[in-house]
Structure 1
């Protein structure tokens, strides 16, 4: 009887424990030793898989974790996205899809450790790099600095995260072995006191025993490296690994080495080709690291999807990211094993301590197709009573609008001739006069003006501005949306230049929200459709609704290539952005969000579709561009005549990896930089440049924010190796000439305005031997 009672007591304990694993675990330790990490005092190589819980439907979390484990990984690495947990100030959400503690418990249940990267900034090609938009309601805020309000909100948020995760550290029997301090801060600035304050905040929350680390690039990690933190490097597939760790080895010869982001692929931007990276390069790099006892986190092992409005944008300029975060990762967007997966798994088996590799789990859902169906219901953008008057146009943030659109309206003066409308609109503006569509101003194309016809006094000017993701990388993350400044009309009247600064605006915010879409349909049933330029006769701008019926549920890929630009909701779930320019033409729809029987699809299309039809296909379309013209910069009219120009510098770069600086004999003034590549270090190589900077007279780098490529006589378009890669803030991407293109090669950059330039900084490709490195050159500033 006594034995029976004991068995029942044990059974009851297991039944009510959070998980069986948690009941069995005991406190442990994770520290740094001599050239190695130590797990419970024993040498340990971290083999981490980066995955992001908000980019994976919660019902699929455990499957994705098991897929990572099947690759031979022993940990998962996660960002904490501040803006998804605190979408309104002081309103925190760690439930459902946001239950990060449960994600960590699932990792532990499956024998995986966890590395946590709680920001506050995370980048991740995510809206505003993870920072919440409402910070910008304080217009003078300084982000990622010791701004009092910013630091106050950071500490509140980190404390809330700590309430979820601090009980799950390894010292308390949980899976969390390391926490990161900030994120790639060397690519943002140099501010050790700020980084130190973030460190102290996290230490107070997680305790002195938990390992804290920093990540940065090998070229900038010393800027903010703190003596009491572990330093790790970030670099991509194909990189020269010894070169990446060379400086760290000089400074800390006994420190463990870790690549905290080994980039398996890359992210996609609207209007550019789908990015891929060779599987062999990825596998060889990881093999080399493991053979040398170097730890890593594979970014991404599984990328997933930036559902809804969460995809960010990159800079300089404005380059919004697509909805898919497939990343060319070993586990694709919908959780299936790719050829990369199997090559990686085969290599990782060598480092599995002689044990059999974990089984590859079966996908939780089958792939299904959906026959073509039409979205037959239509509703114009419904204008409710939330009209905001103001003398000047207001930004979204001033109107307390995070995401969506705003409709700006004012009366026009009399302008009897053609004129030019100028404004800065973030991000996609459509201009109407008395309901007639005039044209667009697209921030992606760096457009800021539009020609207007002759205007009668009192005509109505309407501007519909749609916001895309806020910039997630670099100094431009302070990215206000809407019209950001004055709206001006310039014209020549009777031989005089006349300027009108338009005032007295009325604004209607239109939230990106499923409930707003439903309200539009409800209102359209009982109210006369408004005739303010968005009725169906005006190219069909508005909401569309249709339905499809399923006998069985499964994952599918809804095709929207016949549509214009906007957002999609399926059964109330915000699926993400669409844009006909591509390269993404389908949206991944998880089967766990579908149902047997009738399923609803709502499309918000701000441009209007060619045909309002949708179908579900068995595989995604991530590489189909539908552009007005090629992305190449080879318009012969933009090629400068340099025959009579005097170079700012001539000479030869040195062979090998790493930054090189060419100082000019005298300060050069000009708006354009032209670099002529006369030869490469290895004969027959295609010329390549990873990054370029210019230094001003003070020796500091000139801002590259206004830079754009003016001309390139050769660019490899298929691999996205275009001229803008030399100033995209990413050392692993590069401009590359086409195969067989004859030397010399010419690349011309428009600096945006005249600059005084004293030197040029040049970075070749990061791979072993720096392929495509330039040897002889001429540099012009004109």
Structure 2
């Protein structure tokens, strides 16, 4: 009998334990998210739903802890590393934009290969058990040139971007006909990681066409998007950017403004911050923005309110090449090359103090121990190099294809190149002949900055601020050249339609418009840079001729590691490594180094080419820490 009593007591204790387990499960169902992951097999009958106060995924309560990371800002070789660090932070969802301008660089010509292989990116997220919120645009903002819209749209003088103007919608339809079939099979109900798709981006702050959001929504639905649709807006447009059939989400940084916005969301629906701005971006001539104060308190407050959160950015990456955006709210300012964003994961993929603070917070919220500190990527200091050869721009011109002859200036986008798609990025050189001196007037037709030369000698600059320049008197014919730089198109605001670059109208010498131009597009594509191997380079003299391309070799005898290029003594230009465009540098800062990822370095000799506009330094340094400039708290 004693044995039976012991057994009964044992059964009773097991029963109590089971009741406790059930109670804990019910508590988590009511107050916490269920860690459903893409790699596991489910019925996949019902995707993400938003018809209650909380999200449901296939009938289970679900909470989104997301992070933004853009495949086009990160070398493909590092996608896995960054996603694993995302998971180690406690995130379950990756959000990404889709940059139309990179995927369709020329009208009707598409690129979804290598670093732009979106399908590979989605598959990797699925393999690593991350859900995906896809933000396909067509407009993405993102401090990206023209908000991700291709510049060839601006060849149409009547173009009305982000409206139902047929010239725009025809182009969007053609792009979506290619894009959406590539991603539709990665939707949740098809066994993939995509649980939601965003309709456009922050349209409430633009709001130029009441029919436009409906058009974009239908463009997604009619091509096979079946998952939950969302919109995303900030304080300027939450009331105008929503559309029936899509869940509205909000963007903000400070808690007070965020709580105010949350009150404006519809009751009885899940609340989500699509962009909790974890940092901020930088522009040339400013400071490096950092955001620290109150970030953990804000996230904790949102978690306590049951609000799903997406960190924008989790990992910013880099505006490689000429892809940085700009702002113009009365004054044009271009963004820097780095998109570090003071995000939890740095530009080079390092876990920051902010990362570990958020990780600790999420660990408590999820009631589980998260991964220990992920492996940090080693950074290397390579030997300083001293470029010994160069070639002036004027000599390179002879190697280019036949220039364009035009009586009047032609803006970049309307140049007759690239199969009728014009010039998108880089510089354009406009040459003409003058027979007198006088005052050169831009009439604000220089976009964005022109270095002016007379017979190859620089006499100054024209830009938004400096609109006049005196040309000394002389007899006879002289060559007048304007090297115009596209510093980046505005990515946000009402001026998207006014982003044509180069010379967008007449330039006047005194009161007469200049005529008879020879125009050289200087896009500086990889093929152009690689052609330098066939050119006759010159030893660098004590006083080089500018602008010029300076040539050096970095020897790497070990396994390549990430590094940062420091250009002390150089003024302004672009750096290419093995033909890859790392982006712009400018001594006005804040950014003082350029990120060079290891996958772009090879064992042995590495070709370094620097296009410098005005002043060349003697050396090029490779350091193991970034210098993003003097900091300023947001």
TM-score, normalized by length of structure 2?
Answer: 0.88
Per-residue CA deviation, residues 43-94 of structure 1 (Å, 9 max, x unaligned), is 2221110000011110110110111111111100000011111111111111
For 1:57 and 1:414, the matched residues in 2 are separated by 51
Q: Which residue of 2 aligns with 1:388?
A: 404
Q: Which residue of 1 aligns with 2:49?
A: 31
1:557 to 564, 569, 573: 564
Contact 2:440 2:507 in 1 (8 A): no
1:599 to 588, 606, 612: 606
Q: What SS does the aligned partner of 1:622 have?
A: coil
Q: Which residue of 1 aligns with 2:231?
A: 214
Deviation at 1:506, TM superposition (A): 1.3
Q: Which residue of 1 aligns with 2:531?
A: 519
Alignment of 1:447 with 2:466, yes or no, is: yes
Contact 1:378 1:521 in 2 (8 A): no
Contact 1:181 1:212 in 2 (8 A): yes
2:577 to 558, 564, 570: 570
For 1:102 and 1:521, the matched residues in 2 are separated by 33
Q: What SS does the aligned partner of 1:543 have?
A: strand
Equivalences for residues 673-752 of structure 1 within 5 A: 719=632
Per-residue CA deviation, residues 465-502 of structure 1 (Å, 9 max, x unaligned), is 12121111112223111011110122xxxxxxxx2111
Deviation at 1:520, TM superposition (A): 4.4
C-alpha spacing 1:72/1:53, structure 2 compared with 1 (3 Å): same
C-alpha spacing 1:369/1:238, structure 2 compared with 1 (3 Å): farther
Contact 1:380 1:536 in 2 (8 A): no
Gaps of 5+ in 1: 1-19, 491-498, 625-717, 721-732, 734-782
Q: Which residue of 2 aligns with 1:313?
A: 326
Deviation at 1:24, TM superposition (A): 4.4
For 1:457 and 1:615, the matched residues in 2 are separated by 45
Alignment of 1:616 with 2:622, yes or no, is: yes
Alignment of 1:489 with 2:509, yes or no, is: yes
Contact 1:556 1:589 in 2 (8 A): yes
Contact 1:118 1:158 in 2 (8 A): no
Q: What SS does the aligned partner of 2:223 have?
A: helix
For 2:288 and 2:595, the matched residues in 1 are separated by 16
Deviation at 1:591, TM superposition (A): 1.0
Deviation at 1:357, TM superposition (A): 1.2
For 1:576 and 1:131, the matched residues in 2 are separated by 19
Q: Which residue of 2 aligns with 1:356?
A: 369
Equivalences for residues 201-280 of structure 1 within 5 A: 201-207=219-225, 209-248=226-265, 252-278=266-292, 280=293
Contact 1:561 1:586 in 2 (8 A): no
Deviation at 1:719, TM superposition (A): 2.8
C-alpha spacing 1:88/1:420, structure 2 compared with 1 (3 Å): closer
Contact 1:22 1:173 in 2 (8 A): no
Q: What SS does the aligned partner of 2:536 have?
A: helix
Contact 1:283 1:347 in 2 (8 A): yes
Deviation at 1:516, TM superposition (A): 1.5
Q: What SS does the aligned partner of 1:43 have?
A: strand
For 1:290 and 1:23, the matched residues in 2 are separated by 26
For 1:419 and 1:95, the matched residues in 2 are separated by 49
* Count of residues in correspondence between the two structures: 583
Q: Which residue of 1 aligns with 2:521?
A: 509
Gaps of 5+ in 2: 1-36, 416-421
Contact 2:392 2:545 in 1 (8 A): no
Contact 1:218 1:245 in 2 (8 A): no
Q: What SS does the aligned partner of 1:475 have?
A: coil
Q: Which residue of 2 aligns with 1:699?
A: none
Q: What SS does the aligned partner of 1:206 have?
A: coil
Equivalences for residues 282-681 of structure 1 within 5 A: 282-316=295-329, 317-352=331-366, 354-363=367-376, 365-381=377-393, 382-383=396-397, 384-399=400-415, 400-415=422-437, 418-423=438-443, 424-443=445-464, 446-478=465-497, 479-490=499-510, 499-520=511-532, 522-524=534-536, 537=543, 539-552=545-558, 553-609=560-616, 611-623=617-629
Greater helix fraction, Structure 1 or Structure 2: 2
Per-residue CA deviation, residues 95-124 of structure 1 (Å, 9 max, x unaligned), is 211111111111121211000000000010
Q: What SS does the aligned partner of 1:286 have?
A: helix
Per-residue CA deviation, residues 412-449 of structure 1 (Å, 9 max, x unaligned), is 2434xx53433421112111112221101134xx3322
Q: What SS does the aligned partner of 2:383 have?
A: strand
Contact 1:542 1:608 in 2 (8 A): no
1:170 to 188, 191, 202: 188
For 1:273 and 1:22, the matched residues in 2 are separated by 43
C-alpha spacing 1:535/1:394, structure 2 compared with 1 (3 Å): farther
C-alpha spacing 1:306/1:536, structure 2 compared with 1 (3 Å): farther
C-alpha spacing 1:455/1:550, structure 2 compared with 1 (3 Å): same
Deviation at 1:595, TM superposition (A): 1.9
Q: Which residue of 1 aligns with 2:6?
A: none
Q: Which moved more, 1:587-596 or 1:113-122?
A: 587-596
Alignment of 1:188 with 2:203, yes or no, is: no
TM-score, normalized by length of structure 1?
Answer: 0.72
